[in-house]
């Protein structure tokens, strides 16, 4: 998947895929347990964030899975909710599925973020930095044994991503310059494909190299055929009801089974291109399983009962799991702050649908008052959140750009921050015309009680606990928050389809260390510009949507940053972006958890990092025979 922000199912999870995405493969990094018939005992687990799961608690009998394992080397992980689609272009959420079944032209080293060969064995950049020529490996094949060629690359970009009727976050990130033009992608010969940008575009190599290549022979008809709404059938192709045999990929694994509400099973792709130094085919592990389990508590129960091999460790369970490290024969790795975000977002959208405002006009006035947002930011007690909810295993988050990025602006160099201060928060509100009644309740200038709903995804203990604390924190400045955890897919639907919500606690991940990966969040027309979302293609349009001056300026600066090839000048541009985001605070950044992953010692070859997670090098991992 392209290196751009995606909606995270879970906070604290550092999901990074073994491909170009420097930010997507620790979701894949939440592996699970392999069951070998020769083993007399089952591995004890480690707690999981994005994937680990309670087989016994997810309507799936652990003994059933174990009996199926026979002598097949198998890893079992879990996710909190079902995939919404198996189509990487239409998906707007992070999931381990795409990193397993599809590959990109380039991959990313999970330790240092360096680009490495993928489907392309090499690449060449022109002196003017406007052209990149990729050379594909010889003999590439899809999982159905059909040759993978330059034509598939052309199809992926020209027919799918650059298709105006197929909106996607990936397409957003590939737009170049103020006019948002796409690169030109053309065939040079049977193994070479050339990308040409209309003007200098600093992240073109990383972005073009990071797109998951799609099989033309399988999907071309769905792109050219329209449905009853005059939309390409591709938009509904590879939905979760698709027969797994019809999903053709180029990744290390292929989907072979999906039982709704229970699990996805992937078998090793016999046509995968990777081989080790001795010529042996990779990956070495034959099967990969994702269990669907809807709470982190259930994940922990299953982990400790012995069903998993590796899991991201949530701070609330760290001490418990740490005590079991030796007895359980696993290691907890710590990689510093995770490449993920957690924030409280305000719905600033002033648009209407069919004459009806998306947000109650009274609440909308509050949310669109700068002092109100700043006061909320100042009233959230992040130090207590870190100590109590994160057990000290986190740091304050103040920027949309990750700390590991060379473009991150630290507070000591000018990044604005919001320190916990109730009195200053109240003063900000009163300066903006709000007032307090005799009961200490906050009222607006018209006498309306300040009360709104805050949502997050149910089953995520960290987010639920964070929401409960924020509810309590804001009550100290007279605000009543109605906190409502909902199903993850329901939350995503509110954010991207209905656009009907007040505030929410959400996370974004996947953008890696290249700051332009966040452009789909900060461009006013971006697919994940969630605090003032524009409806996607085919959705009911909005009337009277307003884009603030600061909002437009941030979007323009992202374009400018992508055009600048001088690194020092790029840093200055992204520094200004970070200052504006913090000044106008459409999203209150909360806590950046430490990247923690517990990995069973029988998994050989783990190279853990916050950037790549536990499984960025999945293809070369092995399971010991003991």
Q: Where are the alpha helices (DSSP H) in 324-460?
A: 325-328, 361-367, 370-379, 382-384, 422-431
**Is 133 a residue whose pLDDT tops 90?**
yes
Sequence-ordered list of residues with C-beta below 8 angstroms from that of 40, at least 6 positions apart, any chain? none
Burial string for 358-370 (b: 16+ CB within 10 Å, else e) reads bbeeebbbbbbbe
Q: What is the pLDDT of residue 86?
A: 95
CA 545, 550, 552, 558 torsion: positive or negative? negative
Residues of the chain with CATH 3.90.76.10: 113-217
Nearest partner of 495 among 438, 539, 447, 561, judged by Cα: 539
Q: How much of the chain, in percent, has pLDDT values that exceed 90?
A: 63
Task: Fill in the DSSP letter of residue 313.
Answer: P
- pLDDT tens-digit series, residues 328-355: 888 999 999 988 889 999 999 999 999 9
What pLDDT does 77 receive? 82
Distance CA(251)–CA(228), nearest Å, equals 33
Mean pLDDT of the chain: 86
Token pair for 5: 């922000």
Tell me: pLDDT of 34 over 50. Answer: no
pLDDT tens digit sequence for 210-245:
999 999 999 999 999 999 888 999 999 999 999 999
Statement: residue 17 has pLDDT above 50: no
Confidence of residue 197 (pLDDT cuts 50, 70, 90): very high
Q: Which of 111-115, 171-175, 191-195, 311-315 has the highest mean pLDDT?
A: 191-195
pLDDT tops 70 at residue 45: no
Tell me: pLDDT of 493 over 80.
yes
Task: List the Cα angle 105/106/110 in 5-degree steps.
Answer: 150
Q: What is the pTM of this model?
A: 0.74
Does residue 393 have a pLDDT over 80? yes
| Spatial distance between the Cα atoms of 201 and 592, rounded to a whole number of angstroms | 30
Backbone angles phi, psi at 449, to 5 degrees: -65, 130
8 A C-beta contact, residue 74 and residue 287: yes
Contact 405, 354 (CB under 8 A): no
When pLDDT is cut at 50, 70 and 90, the band that residue 3 belongs to is very low
**What is the pLDDT, as a whole number, of residue 315?**
85
pLDDT given at position 189? 96
| Beta strands per DSSP E along 487-590 | 503-506, 508-509, 587-589
Q: 17 vs 360, which has greater pLDDT?
A: 360
What is the third-level CATH fold of 113-217? Dipeptide-binding Protein; domain 1 (3.90.76)
Could you tell me the pLDDT band of residue 461, with boundaries at 50, 70 and 90? confident
Q: Is the dihedral of CA 551, 556, 562, 564 positive or negative?
A: negative
Which residue has better confidence, 54 or 421? 421
Q: Given pLDDT bands bounded at 50, 70 and 90, which one contains residue 8?
A: low
Residue whose C-alpha is closest to residue 113's, from 272, 6, 3: 3
Q: What are phi and psi of 579, to 5 degrees?
A: -65, -45
Identify the pLDDT of residue 510. Answer: 64
Residues 6+ apart with CB under 8 A from 304: 44, 45, 47, 324
CA distance 22 to 40: 38
Tens digit of each residue's pLDDT (9 = 90 or more) over 155-165: 999 999 999 99
DSSP 458: T
Kind of pairing, strands 480-486 and 451-457?
Answer: parallel
**Which residues does residue 184 pair with via DSSP β-bridges, in sequence order?**
196
Closest CA relative to residue 29, chosen from 5, 62, 52: 52
CA dihedral 298, 304, 305, 311 (to 10 degrees): 70
For residue range 396-438, what is the model confidence (pLDDT) as tens digits? 999 999 998 999 999 999 999 999 999 999 999 999 999 999 9
DSSP 3-state assignment of 243? coil
Q: In CATH, which superfamily holds the domain spanning 343-589?
A: Dipeptide-binding Protein; Domain 3 (3.10.105.10)
Rounded mean pLDDT, 365-375: 98
Q: How many CA atoms lie within 13 A of 428 on its CB side?
A: 19
CA separation, residue 118 to residues 369, 553, 559 (Å): 48, 36, 28
Lowest mean pLDDT among 28-37, 79-88, 580-589: 28-37
Place 600 in a pLDDT band, splitting at 50, 70 and 90: confident
Residues in the chain: 626
CATH 3.10.105.10 domain position(s) in the chain:
343-589
Residue with the larger pLDDT of the pair 34 and 266: 266
pLDDT of residue 63: 39
Task: Give whichever of 69-78, 369-378, 459-468 has the largest mean pLDDT.
Answer: 369-378
């Amino acid at each position: 998947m392209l290196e751009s922000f995606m909606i995270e199912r879970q906070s604290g999870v550092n999901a990074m895929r073994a491909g170009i995405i420097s930010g997507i493969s620790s979701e894949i990094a939440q592996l699970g347990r392999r069951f070998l018939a020769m083993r007399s005992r089952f591995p004890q687990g480690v707690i999981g964030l994005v994937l680990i799961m309670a087989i016994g608690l997810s309507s799936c009998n652990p003994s059933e899975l174990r009996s199926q394992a026979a002598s097949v080397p198998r890893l079992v992980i879990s996710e909190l909710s079902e995939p919404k689609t198996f189509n990487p272009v239409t998906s707007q959420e992070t999931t381990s599925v795409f990193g397993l079944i599809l590959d990109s032209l380039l991959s990313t080293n999970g330790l240092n973020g360096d680009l490495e060969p993928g489907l392309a064995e090499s690449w060449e950049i022109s002196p003017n930095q406007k052209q990149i020529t990729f050379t594909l490996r010889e003999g590439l094949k899809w999982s159905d044994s059909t040759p993978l060629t330059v034509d598939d690359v052309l199809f992926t970009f020209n027919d799918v991503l650059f298709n105006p009727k197929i909106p996607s976050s990936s397409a957003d990130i590939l737009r170049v310059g103020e006019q948002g033009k796409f690169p030109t992608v053309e065939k040079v010969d049977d193994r070479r494909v050339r990308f040409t940008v209309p003007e200098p575009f600093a992240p073109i190599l990383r972005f073009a190299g990071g797109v998951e290549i799609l099989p033309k022979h399988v999907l071309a008809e769905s792109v050219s055929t329209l449905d009853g709404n005059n939309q390409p059938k591709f938009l509904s192709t590879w939905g979760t009801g698709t027969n797994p045999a019809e999903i053709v990929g180029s990744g290390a694994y292929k989907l072979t089974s999906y039982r709704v509400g229970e699990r996805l099973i992937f078998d090793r792709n016999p046509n995968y291109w990777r081989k080790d130094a001795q010529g042996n085919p990779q990956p070495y592990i034959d099967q990969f399983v994702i269990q669907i389990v809807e709470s982190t508590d259930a994940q922990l129960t299953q982990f400790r009962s012995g069903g998993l091999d590796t899991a991201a460790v949530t701070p609330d369970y760290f001490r418990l799991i740490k005590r079991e490290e030796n007895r359980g024969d696993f290691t907890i790795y710590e990689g510093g702050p995770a490449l993920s975000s957690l924030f409280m977002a305000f719905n600033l959208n002033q648009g209407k649908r069919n004459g009806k405002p998306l947000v109650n006009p009274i609440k909308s006035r509050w949310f669109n008052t700068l002092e109100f947002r700043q006061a909320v930011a100042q009233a959230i007690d992040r130090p207590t959140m870190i100590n109590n909810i994160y057990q000290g295993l986190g740091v304050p988050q103040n920027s949309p750009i990750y700390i590991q990025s060379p473009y991150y602006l630290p507070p000591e160099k000018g990044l604005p921050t919001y320190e916990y201060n109730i009195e200053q928060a109240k003063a900000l509100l009163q300066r903006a015309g709000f007032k307090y009644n005799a009961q200490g309740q906050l009222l607006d200038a018209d006498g309306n009680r300040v009360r709104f709903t805050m949502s997050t995804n149910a089953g995520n203990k960290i987010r639920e606990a964070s929401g409960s604390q924020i509810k309590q924190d804001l009550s100290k400045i007279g605000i009543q928050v109605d906190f409502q955890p909902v199903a993850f897919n329901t939350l995503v639907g509110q954010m991207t389809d209905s656009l009907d919500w007040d505030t929410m606690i959400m996370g974004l991940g996947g953008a890696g260390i290249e700051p332009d990966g966040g452009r789909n969040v900060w461009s006013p027309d971006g697919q994940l510009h969630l605090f003032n979302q524009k409806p996607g293609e085919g959705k009911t349009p909005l009337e009277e949507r307003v884009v603030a001056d600061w909002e437009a300026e941030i979007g323009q600066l992202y374009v400018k940053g992508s055009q600048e090839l001088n690194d020092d000048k790029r840093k200055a541009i992204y520094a200004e972006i970070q200052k504006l985001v913090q000044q106008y605070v459409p999203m209150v950044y909360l806590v950046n958890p430490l990247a923690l992953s517990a990995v069973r010692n029988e998994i050989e070859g783990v190279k853990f990092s916050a950037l790549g997670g536990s499984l960025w090098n999945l293809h070369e991992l092995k399971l010991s025979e003991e």
